[in-house]
Amino acid sequence: MPGVVRGTGLTMDIEIDLVVDGTTHSLSVDTRTTLLDALRERLQVISPKKGCDHGQCGTCTVLLDGRRHLTCLALAVAHDGAEVVTAAGLGSDGLHPVQRSFLTHDGYQCGYCTPGQVCSAVGMLDEVAQGHPSHVTEDLTAEVDLDDAEIRERMSGNLCRCGAYPGILAAVREAARG
């Protein structure tokens, strides 16, 4: 039978490596284990939160191999060798500037969506730097002008039930201006 056989019919456990916030972990996961559960339940990395487990809220967002990515809809086994940066690992020396802006503008209340919002904002600003357009970009061929409508649209994959959106917007706006 062709193919790289990663599991066996009897045990569902597979060894994978993940680099999480700069630390390499070798861990055993079930083929069914999501990246989110691998982080939270196997590695006790609690920064990415589980809000819906179905890709509908954004609380589990991390930077996965450099891009913002949900971890609830990713199987850990498919991301063997991946590099994960969570909100806990963003700042090289204390808090990341985006995180400081969230504090300044009270861009959170309960805090549960916050790590995902922060990672999403960092990843989003990188996408803007690379010139990615969005749904609200008027001219698809022009350089992106990151106005408030652009920030809101690009952050819309991260729900906040406390309704801290105005504070998050102000925080991201400030962080974008450096």
Interface residue with other proteins among 97, 153, 173, 174 (CB under 8 A) is: 153
Least distance CB 4 / other proteins (angstroms): 5
Contact 47, 96 (CB under 8 A): no
Structural element, H or E, at residue 13: strand 13-20
Question: How far, in Å, CA of 143 to CA of 15, rounded?
Answer: 44
Residues 108-137 as x/- pattern, contact with other proteins by CB under 8 A? xxxxxxxx--x-x--xx--x--xxxxxxxx
Strands lying side by side in the sheet with 23-30: 23-30, 13-20, 82-85, 62-64, 67-69
Site for other proteins in 43-62 (CB under 8 A): 44, 46-59, 61
Interface residue with other proteins among 19, 83, 159, 174 (CB under 8 A) is: 159
Contact 6, 14 (CB under 8 A): yes
Which residue's CB is nearer to other proteins, number 19 or number 100?
100
Q: Give me the residue label for tokens 């917007």.
A: 169
Interface residue with other proteins among 97, 156, 173, 174 (CB under 8 A) is: 156
Residues 82-101 as x/- pattern, contact with other proteins by CB under 8 A? ----xxx-xx---x---x--
